[in-house]
Amino acid sequence: MSINAIIGNSLSGLFTNQAALRITGNNIANVNTPGYARQVVSQETVLVGARAAGVKISEITRVVDRFLEQAAFTATSSLSEYTVQREFHDRLQGVLGRPDSQSTLAGRINSLFASIGELSLNAGDNILRQATLNSIQSFADETSRVAQSIQDLRADTNRQIAEQVNKVNDALKRIHELNPLIIREKILNGELGGLEDQRSQAVAEVAEILDVQANLQPDGSVHVLTETGVVLVDTTVRELEYTAPGTVTAETQFDQIKIYTLDAITGERLSAFQNLDPNLRGGRLRGLIDLRDDQLRDLSLSLGELSASVIDQLNAAHNDNASVPPPNSMVGRLAALPSADDHQFSGRAVFAVVDENNQVVGTHTVDFDSPGIVSFNDAITDANTGLAGAGTLALTGGVMSFTASNPAHGVVIVQDPAAPSDRAGRGFSHFFGMNDLIEGQVSGRYETGLVGTQTNDFGVGEEVTIRLRDGNGTVLAEHTLTIAAGTYDDLLADLNAPGALGNVATFSLDAKGALQVTPNAGFSDIRVNIVNDNTSHFGTGVSFSALFGLGDKYLADAAKNLRVLETVANDPGRLAVAKFDLSAAVGDVALSIGDARGALEFGSLETQAFGFNAAGELAAQSVTLGQYAGAFLSNAGLMAERVTTLEADNNAMKTEIEERLSDVSGVNLDEELANMVIYQNSYNAAARLLTTAQELYDTLLNAF
């Protein structure tokens, strides 16, 4: 072997072992760096022809198990999905309070009935009356607070979705920028480890936000896709867009997250896009969207159902009772019904007027089953004729009123116990809200009593645009209903036409005049959105959607802004806890201030079972008001427990996968120190060989 060959061998050994020492030192320096994968040096013999001529580094490899790395990405997505949900449910549980607290919804209902029970022992005590009203208002305030808190949490999820979209875009851009750098280094046989670590960390950031798979390409680049195969990065990069609404309410319609492809040269968005929401299977985004559109929405609907039932039952009892003294005038809520319409009532209602001594001045029973009483006008005429000027019943602008002619007199409306009046399950006074006790932002009950064959009372040419979506927010159908002269059945036929909404759902009026939306075969989770509605029933300003309660807000908002009506709140004497004596003739006393029969009727609501509609995750059921409040709180607790358990399970899975990945990719200090000794010795040997070659040259030169 020539001296030059010896020098060549020694230099190759020096350079190779120097590089190996640098890689080993880098491994040791990053022993605690999250996401760092150790690098190993592969060496091979340098051949000149068939003769060995030293050593060189053939490859510097980042040690990673691609299967475990992908499994770690998937585990990260799943864990992040449930972690963000657990965080929000923790906040919600703080809003709802401890299960054993009397300040919860169930506790407030118990306190309400406890106050009514005390009032029934001394109905004439104004202090007890005020305490009862305070208990009712406390329940109303707590319900309104929880309802607003749920919407506030939904608004926060919406804000975080926008933030997460921006983070994804930044990470995707970094991956796209790193790909060509890695390709270049691979061609030049350079060190890829640092660049690949940065790219892997960027993919991990994306995986935390949404489910991804990273497919390694032969040139060293990676293509990033969702689990469903939607491409996020290949030779070009995609950009996500989410337009967040400024405010969030129960009626807010959220846009889906769009995926745009960017032009490879200009970086501008191309016009075509995909919707990400239906393709999300995990990650923080999936968790936030499920919270906003499903879990918190379901809770808001369940709370609205509870509130609507409490309002309805308290008002039913209050309308059955009478205050002492009764008011001079009763004015109902806006029913938006014209006086010429068929009344659709059955049974009988009693209209009475009493003087300042609670003695009967006039009384008349309207029999709605009488052949001569067909319309509201007929019933009003019959009542006014029978009262002979003592009082006046009127339906003006869709609002029913009953007023005593003498300002010192009072009016009472009661049910005939033998055949109580009934329209859509409510008595006359209850249906029109003549003597209501409590109200919310909306009623939450939309049994209109209308029948399909009646002439619709909307204005010809008015329009309502209805959009049907699935649980992912994907638009299934949209149709603009243009009001034409005809019946309600004609309007339903328009909605149910195949080219309208009929391919997705069927619209119908049930026996109580409530509009039902039934998904067709192949569709299950249908969400009704009102895009635009300029209709007005009988010119009252009550729209088609408001009349029939179409859209989430018409149930969820029943739990918002609850309050005892001012007429009662400002005068505890207006709390109706007495019963009108139907046997009293003109001149007889029909009301007593100490009468507690109405209070007992209120108290009986505590143990009565009422029918609740399916709302959110709670199925239709027949339970007491307190039991439904408990079911609402239990459902919220079960949601929290469910996501906490899933978070713990996925955290254990992620930890296990990361430990296995660390066994493969992690830095072992003992191994690296041993390698350092080996490379150091090899470096020293190569240096010694170079020294020997130098000595040989010196000897040869000195010989001459």
Q: What is the mean pLDDT of the chain?
A: 91
Tell me how far apart the alpha carbons of residues 671 and 71 are, in angstroms, rounded to a whole number.
26
- The CA-atom distances, in angstroms, between 296 and each of 38, 151, 152, 455 are 44, 8, 10, 39
**H or E element, residue 108:** helix 105-121
Structure token digits, residue 17: 């072992």
The residues near 240 (Cβ < 8 Å, ≥ 6 apart) are 165, 168, 169, 172, 257, 258, 259, 260, 276
Break the chain down into helix, strand, coil percent, rounded to 5: 45, 20, 35
> The tokens 């995750």 sit on which residue?
617
3-state secondary structure 637-688: HHHHHHHHHHHHHHHHHHHHHHHHHHHHHCCCHHHHHHHHHHHHHHHHHHHH
- The CA-atom distances, in angstroms, between 58 and each of 48, 681, 686 are 16, 20, 18
Q: Give DSSP secondary structure letters for 554-607.
A: HHHGGGSS-EE-HHHHT-GGGS--B---TTPPTTSB---TT--HHHHHHHHTTT
- C-alpha 288: how far from chain center: 9
Tell me how far apart the alpha carbons of residues 454 and 451 are, in angstroms, rounded to a whole number.
6
Structure token digits, residue 241: 């867009």
SS3 358: coil
Structure token digits, residue 84: 């963000």
Long-range CB pairs of 660-665 (<8 Å, 24+ gap) are 660/65, 660/68, 661/64, 661/65, 661/68, 661/69, 661/71, 661/72, 664/63, 664/64, 664/65, 664/68, 665/36, 665/37, 665/38, 665/63, 665/64, 665/65, 665/69
Asked if residues 316 and 422 have their Cβ atoms less than 8 Å apart, the reply is no
Q: 48 φ, ψ to 5°?
A: -115, 100
**pLDDT per 10-residue tile (average), the chain, 704 residues:** 73 74 76 74 74 73 76 92 97 89 88 94 92 96 96 96 96 94 84 82 94 92 94 94 92 94 86 92 96 96 97 97 96 95 97 97 97 97 97 96 98 97 98 97 95 95 96 93 97 96 96 96 92 95 96 95 95 95 95 93 94 94 95 95 96 87 70 75 77 75 73
Structure token digits, residue 322: 């009478």
Asked if residues 616 and 301 have their Cβ atoms less than 8 Å apart, the reply is yes
Tell me how far apart the alpha carbons of residues 243 and 248 are, in angstroms, rounded to a whole number.
13
pLDDT of residue 587: 95
Give the E-state strand segments of 397-462 in sequence order.
399-404, 410-415, 438-439
- Residue whose C-alpha is closest to residue 332's, from 407, 447, 456, 443: 443
- The CA-atom distances, in angstroms, between 609 and each of 113, 305, 308, 544, 604 are 15, 15, 15, 31, 10
pLDDT of residue 70: 85
pLDDT of residue 29: 78
Beta bridge partners of 400: 395
pLDDT of residue 1: 58
Q: How far apart are the first and last CA of the chain?
A: 22
Q: 40 φ, ψ to 5°?
A: -125, 150
3-state secondary structure 274-330: EECHHHCCCHHHHHHHHHHHHHHHHHHHHHHHHHHHHHHHHHHHHHHCECCCCCCEE
- Residue whose C-alpha is closest to residue 233's, from 170, 310, 312: 170
pLDDT of residue 131: 95
Asked if residues 536 and 463 have their Cβ atoms less than 8 Å apart, the reply is no
Structure token digits, residue 54: 């030293």
The residues near 644 (Cβ < 8 Å, ≥ 6 apart) are 86, 89
The residues near 224 (Cβ < 8 Å, ≥ 6 apart) are 172, 175, 203, 206, 212, 213, 214, 215, 231, 232, 233
